[in-house]
Every structure is written in structure tokens, then in C-alpha cells.
Amino acid sequence: MILPSRRGFAAALLALVAALPALAFEGRTVTDATGREVQVPDDPARVFAAGPPAATLLYALKPQAMIGWVSAPKPEALPWLRPEAAGLPELGRLTGRGDTLNLEVLLSTGPDLIVDYGTVSGTYVDLAGRIQQQAGLPYVLIDGSFAHMPQGIRQMAEVLDVAERGEALAAYAENTLARLDALLAGIPDADRPSVYLARGPEGLETPARGSINAEIIERVGGRNVVEAGTDGLATVSPEQVQAWAPEVIITIDRQFAANVGAMPEWQGIPAVENGRVYLAPSAPFGFIDAPPSVNRLAGLIWLSHKLYPQAATGDLRADVAEFYELFYGLRPDDAALTALLGD
């Protein structure tokens, strides 16, 4: 073994000391949605997204900086993702109740920043501060609500040091929302359909108004029949759905969409009678939620065509292809679009 010479050691020490102030002053200070001032590095190269919504936004903004997924993309999502990001490992979940990610495992992957995108509540604010302290990593939380989406994208892009890309995506989001608002301005309340959002193979799990899983229904002008005051998922009985008599049913469950026509307890519901049960596409990310992130912009375009087939403007296939190219980096061809959207 060769011992480092004393002079070499001193030089190394000197270099380290010289680097210290640089380390301390490198990077920027950002104020996140929790109101905390967080020191973030310039051009962070290894970023961990704490929850699925953040992972989707990080993928859209700066895929080369991802170090892993919260939950690995499903096999059917893989063809829709950049290959270098699709193969990243599943690290687990850091936000919410019951983390599955061990902080030591996370630190062993050498991240320089943790970002989160989603609900800003007391729990998450507290969690962000605690993890930052415990892991010694900057942890930035950005508000992920629909209303805040363009700003959220810009803020996240600034944190990730990809302002230009962020501006492109945020402008797209603004434009999409503005187009939707222009469309809705011409549609009186009476022409806006009542919508039931069906989940689970029986279609009996549903998010109520105010739930982040159903936020998109209200945004696109639909009237969620589930008015109850919970903001999570609930089960309802088919009898209750009969009483609500929704004009449109949106589902994220392939099995339910395939079977609903033959299920006796769903007969007579206007949406079923009129063939207005729509299966939301889900690759690589869901159109309705799953996760509730920027992927919902594609759902917004899709829903505006499904809810208002007469009034909707623009070419659904072309618009969705453009969104995929801009956000996910791959432009789907005609066959892929048909597989995604149906005919």
C-alpha cells in the first residue's frame, strides 16, 4: 500500500478547505410551497421524486436527472417512456402514510435533491422538514393542484434548473387550460353532463367532489354526481348510481368498461343506455389521475371531446400526440394512438 505523502495530504486538505466556502455558496435559495427557504444545488443531476405525481413531473421536465421511480412503471407503460428512464429502479414511496423507502437506501443512490409535487397540507409540510433534517438533503415541496398547474411546473423547473423547458411545458398547460375555458364559455350549464367516475372491477369505488382523484371532472365542466363531502374514495351501491342516473360514466378499470354493458344492475342508467361509458387511457400515466399530476392535461383534452362531442374543437389524436411528444419525449404513431385512444 502506498501511503500518501505528507505534502500530498496537506494539498488535499488545503483543496478541501478551499472548496468549503464554494460548497456553501454554490446553489440557490428557493422558497417552496411550505414557505421554507431551501438551499438547492445548481443544475441538480441526481433527483429523487418523493411521490408518483412528482415522479411524473420530474420525468417530463428533466428525465436525465431521475434516479428511480416511486413505483416502477407497469409493463404496458414501458413502450411509452424514454428507454433510459423506463429502466430505472423502483425505490419506494417517501410521502404519505407508510413509507416503503428506507432513507439509507435512498442515500446510497447518492441523490442531491428531493422534490415533491402534490397536496400541501400540514402533514406534508412537516414531513418535508423532517426528511430534510434527517437526510441532510434539500427537500422541496410544490403545490400540485390543478388551478396551480402552470405555476407549479415553472416552480419545479426552476428548482431543477431547467427553466426553459419548464416555460415550454407551462405555456402548453396555460394554452390548454385557456382553450378549455373558451370552450366552456360557449356551453351553458344545462348542456354539461353529469358524470360518474367508476373505479374497481365492479365500478363501485368512486371519488367524491373535492377529491384530488376527481378534480379533473369539475375542471372540464362536468358535474360529478357524487356530491358527498368526503375528499377521498368511497364505495357506493349500484342502487345509488341508479338514483344518480349519470349521463356519462368515466372509468379507469378495463374490466369494468368491458363488462358494464352486460351487468344487470347497471342497466337503465343513461350513460350505459346511450353508450357513454368511456375507458380512460392509462399509458404511460393515467388520464384522470394515477397519478394526479401533469399527465391530467392529456385527460383534459380527451374529456373535452368525450363530454362535448359536438362543441369540442381541435383534433383529439393530433393534440394528444403533441402532448406526448412534448411531455414524454416520444411521439406516438397512428397505430399507437389508436391503441391508446380507441377508434
Partner 1 sequence: MLVAGAAIGPYALPLGKILTVLAGDRSDPQAATVLLNIRLPRVLAAALVGAALAAAGAAYQTTFRNPLVSPDILGVSAGAGFGAVLGILMGLPVLGIQALGFATGLLTVALVLGLTLALRGTGQVLVMVLCGIAIGALAGAGISLVKLLADPEQQLPAITFWLMGSLAGVKRADLVATLPALLIGIAPLLLLRWRIGLLAMGDDEARAMGIDATRLRLLVIACATLMTAAAVSMAGVIGWVGLMVPHMARLVTGPRFDRLLPAAALIGAGFMVLVDTAARTIALMEVPLGILTAVLGAPVFVWLLARGARPWSE
Residues that bind partner 1 (CB under 8 A): 52, 71, 93, 100, 199-202, 204-205, 208, 226-228, 230, 233-240, 242-243, 252-253, 255, 263-265, 267-268, 286, 289-291
Most distant pair of Cα atoms in the chain: their distance: 87
Cell of 49: 421524486
Q: Minimum distance between the CB of residue 280 and partner 1, rounded to whole angstroms?
A: 12
Residue 134 or 255 having the CB closest to partner 1: 255
Q: Minimum distance between the CB of residue 17 and partner 1, rounded to whole angstroms?
A: 47
Cell of 268: 337503465
Q: Minimum distance between the CB of residue 109 and partner 1, rounded to whole angstroms?
A: 21
Q: Minimum distance between the CB of residue 113 and partner 1, rounded to whole angstroms?
A: 23
Angle between helices 52-61 and 163-185 (to 10 degrees): 110
Q: Minimum distance between the CB of residue 159 and partner 1, rounded to whole angstroms?
A: 25
Q: Minimum distance between the CB of residue 73 and partner 1, rounded to whole angstroms?
A: 12
Phi/psi for 329 (5° steps) reads: 85, 0
Residue 64 or 230 having the CB closest to partner 1: 230
Residue 41 or 200 having the CB closest to partner 1: 200
Residue 255 or 338 having the CB closest to partner 1: 255
- One-letter amino acid at 130 equals R
Cell of 104: 439509507
Q: Which residue has the cell 399527465?
A: 295
How many residues are recorded in the chain?
Answer: 343
Q: Cα–Cα distance between 35 and 80 in angstroms, integer?
A: 36
Cell of 274: 346511450
Q: Cα–Cα distance between 281 and 300 in angstroms, integer?
A: 12
330 burial class (0-12, 13-18, 19+ CB within 10 angstroms)?
middle
Q: Minimum distance between the CB of residue 226 and partner 1, rounded to whole angstroms?
A: 7
Q: Please say whether the beta carbons of 60 and 328 come within 8 A.
A: yes
Residue 137 or 290 having the CB closest to partner 1: 290
Residue 168 or 272 having the CB closest to partner 1: 272
90 secondary structure, DSSP code:
B
Residue 186 or 268 having the CB closest to partner 1: 268
